[in-house]
Amino acid sequence: MGPSAIRYAGLADQLSSAGVSVEDAGDLTVPHLATRDPDAGSTNAKHLQEVKEVTTTLADAVSTALADGWTPLALGGDHSIAIGSMVGSARDADIGVVWFDAHGDFNTPETSPSGNVHGMPLAAALGVGDFEDTPWANADGLKQENVAIVGLRDVDSTEAAAIRASDITAYTMSDIDERGIVEVTRDALDVATDGTDGVHVSLDLDWLDPREAPGVGTPVRGGATYREAHEAMEIVAESDAMRSFELVEVNPILDQHNETAQLATELAASALGKRIL
């Protein structure tokens, strides 16, 4: 329901107002999870087979869109779709990633306390732990040293240790408080663009404070403000480095008057060049 809510909130009109030519490629076919066994064929990674089906299809769609000269924008539901976005974007290029999120999403089936794959996409794309040598999930053109996470404030203890031991650059909300969103975002883009062909930007709406974006599955107090989020997306646009983009974790069941989906459309427009003047 997340993509439908974002469309209903006027995504196409927002992007058009930013001067962007828009083509809606429609929804991917997604399995009905109520009819599937969440633990089939996996140890502590729920619905891994279904995630594989969806992300493999998405990777092909992203790769095709790039080959045709478009900037692919993937709309989610949950953040597991990022596996497909990154794999597709990195299929024929070296990419960096800027990950705007309250969470690290660097768990693996070995470390995850929940088994939810939406907490694992970065580890999957980078081939960490159980995801090593998993072709459908590994983004071959992506290296840890070109990944920057922005806005961390809720990280599992084992996940935090894994991030510290990796070559990923992580900026917490404390970094944003101390240095400001402008400096942190520019530094993150420097990390992601160092020796790469472009940047995949992943925007989880729970990066924002729940007062701004209530319609998310895992809200955490103390997130980015409305203006900080727009400022970050405007800096992304100014960099002219974004190769692919995704908006995830919009849950209309938990939303208030579709305001989170509306915010998603506004932030997408800012990331793609919309300005006040």
Tell me the catalytic residues.
Answer: 79, 101, 103, 105, 118, 204, 206, 249
**Angle, helix 226-239 to helix 181-193, in steps of 10 degrees:** 30
| Cα torsion 263, 244, 196, 145: sign | positive
Q: Let me know: does 117 contact 79? Beta carbons within 8 Å.
A: no
Q: What strand order describes the sheet that includes 169-172? A: 73-75, 242-248, 198-204, 95-100, 142-152, 169-172
C-alpha–C-alpha distance, residues 134 and 124, integer Å: 8
Query: Which residues does 34 contact at the CB level (< 8 Å), separation at least 6?
Result: none
Instruction: Give the burial class of 264: count Cβ atoms within 10 A of its Cβ; 0-12 exposed, 13-18 middle, 19 or more buried.
Output: buried
Q: Are strands 198-204 and 242-248 parallel, antiparallel or unpaired?
A: parallel
Residue type, 209: D
Estimate to the nearest angstrom the gap between the alpha carbon of 9 and the chain centroid.
Answer: 19
C-alpha–C-alpha distance, residues 169 and 110, integer Å: 22
